[in-house]
Amino acid sequence: MTAVWDFELARCLRHDGRRFDLHVACRSEAARLVLFGPSGAGKSQTLQMIAGLARPDRGHVRVAGTTLFDRASGVDLSPQRRRLAYVFQDYALFPHLTVRQNVAFALHGGLRNPSRHAADASVDHWLATFQLQAVARHYPEQLSGGQRQRTALARALVARPRALLLDEPFAALDRALRRRLRDELAELQAELKLPLLLITHDEDDVHQLADAVVQLDGGRVVGTTVAPAAGALPQAGRPRHDTPREHA
């Protein structure tokens, strides 16, 4: 069976005389894969290399059988051609664009600002899906945390991505909202059948969303688990280096 996620990424980072060696490999059939680990484990670097925003020294990235990067054979698709929607931790909405414009922006490859009245069926569809019609003319600073996150998701999905990459998508939200939005995201993923890769240090994200989890620490994979049961994971601050229960 073709793996949904198949990547091996190696990169040496140097900064201020310090060195961080990252080597992360994963092959998984999980539609919802979570990379879990403490701060500094290498989660963001891994996600950025998958998205094409950072370049590995060696390795490969394949998503649902399509090769997006392969150092050995010289394949290196641009972030746009990888068609992976990336939702940043702070959502990275454009403050000078309305909700509708933020969502429509992704349709034009980000080359120009869409008009405030831009009409497009797919923009309307995603605004409706995320219940954003009432705030479509609002600017990001006029939105609640949940509405900001939904706008970022609508903007990510409108361009029909191959997969969705999420960097700590619930970190900026309160606990009750996190729980609700995790459920919404899980439902949406099941409906769209869109592969989802999420990075987090929050164990609740893992339990509510993961089909499989890859635990990272110090730039290395320290465990892979399929559908982890509650309590099966170490605290993000205290990683466990024992034998993985099952391979993803």
Residues that bind ligand ATP (CB under 6 A): 13, 15, 20, 37, 39-45, 201
Task: Kindly give the residue spans of alpha helices, DSSP state H, lying in 106-248.
Answer: 121-129, 145-158, 175-192, 203-209
Question: Which strand (E) or helix (H) includes residue 128?
Answer: helix 121-129
Query: Please, which residues have CB within 8 angstroms of residue 53's CB and are 6 or more apart in sequence?
Result: 79, 86
Q: How far apart are CA 218 and CA 32, in angstroms?
A: 23
Of 50 and 196, CB closest to ligand ATP: 50
Q: How far is the CB of 113 from ligand ATP (least distance, A)?
A: 30
Q: Find out whether 56 and 69 touch, Cβ atoms under 8 Å.
A: yes
Q: How far is the CB of 247 from ligand ATP (least distance, A)?
A: 22
Locate 132 and state its tokens: 């954003």
Of 15 and 238, CB closest to ligand ATP: 15
Q: How far is the CB of 57 from ligand ATP (least distance, A)?
A: 13
Of 4 and 41, CB closest to ligand ATP: 41
Of 21 and 184, CB closest to ligand ATP: 21
The residue to which tokens 């990379």 are assigned: 35
Query: Please, which residues have CB within 8 angstroms of residue 144's CB and are 6 or more apart in sequence?
Result: none
In degrees and rounded to multiples of 5, residue 153 shows phi and psi of -70, -40
Of 6 and 217, CB closest to ligand ATP: 217
Q: How far is the CB of 110 from ligand ATP (least distance, A)?
A: 23
Q: Cα 99 vs. chain centroid, distance in angstroms?
A: 21
Q: How far is the CB of 98 from ligand ATP (least distance, A)?
A: 30
